[in-house]
Amino acid sequence: MLTTATFTAPKQLADTLLALTETHPEITLDVGEIVPNSLPTYSSHFTYTLWLPAELQPAAVATAGQPLNFKEVDASIDYVAQTKALFPPLLIGPYFIARNNEATPAGKIGLCIAPNRAFGSGEHATTTGCLLGYEWLLSQGHTYKSCLDFGAGSGLLAIAAAKRQGTRGLCLDNDHPSVDICAENAALNGVADLITSEWADTPPAQAFPLIFANILLHPLLELATPLVQTLAPTPGSALILSGFTEEQGPELEARYRSLGLTKQWQHAQGGWLAQVWMRG
């Protein structure tokens, strides 16, 4: 009998659960990127769904480290189709984000990003805000030869810039699986030659004219000085910040203003903010 259970747990559990599916190939794992309605902790928890034969339930419970509510799978239901329907393509500005390999409509820039272990399949308000902030910068006549995607997750933002204007991107993340997934996404989107994906937990020494940093409030505050130092001192250089809520906005803004930056643009969606900052 095939059974399924959905539960939430810290994102660190993903690696342990993936190891379980390697030991037991009969187990299928689906990792959702956000626990709905948990704004302050969204990036530290995932939603996990397991599909497994009933006899493997004890192994799953032991690995999950919590009781699981198993349900019998109804064989008459097409779960693959249902799961795909949960991830329809997204249209954000000029971007068509295909999460199930859908064909890109004429006139759109196709990004192929499957929902995955790495954050950033496009549906979160912060990712949308960063893409719209980048589009706003382009609408102001700025162009960027290179960018830093700090906290790249899936790499969607740097991949978007690579496809949009051939921008070379350095993607950094402190989550090892995300580093690999980002590189895979770059290849899948035909921009592997433009994207470098590496592990790091602090900004690099090299300066960039465009920086995306969609991380949480606290790392944005802690890393404000090195992030601003990483921003090239050239006209048009911009730091796109997101991952903080409207409530947290004033604290974030005071910090970046104190470092000599000025807020140029803002997008608010679902309680989340994305902002574009420039020198001066």
Ligand X SMILES: C[S@@+](CC[C@H](N)C(=O)[O-])C[C@H]1O[C@@H](n2cnc3c(N)ncnc32)[C@H](O)[C@@H]1O
Q: Which is nearer to ligand X, 70 or 177 (CB)?
A: 177
For residues 275 and 263, is the Cβ–Cβ distance under 8 A?
A: yes
**Distances in whole angstroms, Cα of residue 58 to Cα of each of 4, 29, 106:** 13, 16, 50
Binding piece for ligand X, criterion CB under 6 A, among 71-79, 171-179, 188-196, 261-269:
171-179
**Residue from the set 243, 253, 265, 267 that interacts with ligand X by CB under 6 A:** 243
Minimum gap (Å) between residue 64 Cβ and ligand X: 21
Note whether 194 binds ligand X by CB under 6 A. no
**Calpha distance 107→89 (Å, rounded):** 15
List CB contacts of 167: < 8 A, sequence separation 6 or more: 144, 145, 146, 147, 158, 161, 194, 210
Note whether 173 binds ligand X by CB under 6 A. yes
**Calpha distance 161→37 (Å, rounded):** 30
Q: Which is nearer to ligand X, 120 or 209 (CB)?
A: 120
Q: Which is nearer to ligand X, 3 or 243 (CB)?
A: 243
List CB contacts of 86: < 8 A, sequence separation 6 or more: none
**Residue from the set 172, 179, 186, 231 that interacts with ligand X by CB under 6 A:** 172
Binding piece for ligand X, criterion CB under 6 A, among 14-22, 98-106, 212-220, 265-273:
212-220
**Calpha distance 214→148 (Å, rounded):** 11
Kindly state the tokens that stand for 134. 């980048």
Note whether 201 binds ligand X by CB under 6 A. yes
Q: Which residue is nearest to ligand X (CB)?
A: 151
For residues 72 and 79, is the Cβ–Cβ distance under 8 A?
A: no
Residues 117-156 that bind ligand X (CB under 6 A): 119-120, 126-127, 130, 149, 151-153, 156
Minimum gap (Å) between residue 69 Cβ and ligand X: 28
Note whether 244 binds ligand X by CB under 6 A. no
**Distances in whole angstroms, Cα of residue 146 to Cα of each of 83, 99, 196:** 36, 26, 11
Minimum gap (Å) between residue 279 Cβ and ligand X: 22
Note whether 231 binds ligand X by CB under 6 A. no
Q: Which is nearer to ligand X, 151 or 209 (CB)?
A: 151
Residues 36-75 that bind ligand X (CB under 6 A): 43
Minimum gap (Å) between residue 134 Cβ and ligand X: 11
**Calpha distance 214→235 (Å, rounded):** 22
Kindly state the tokens that stand for 90. 């997204």
Of 12, 1, 7, nearest in space to 174 by CA: 12
Chain residues that interact with ligand X, rule: CB under 6 A: 43, 119-120, 126-127, 130, 149, 151-153, 156-157, 172-175, 178, 200-201, 214-215, 219, 243
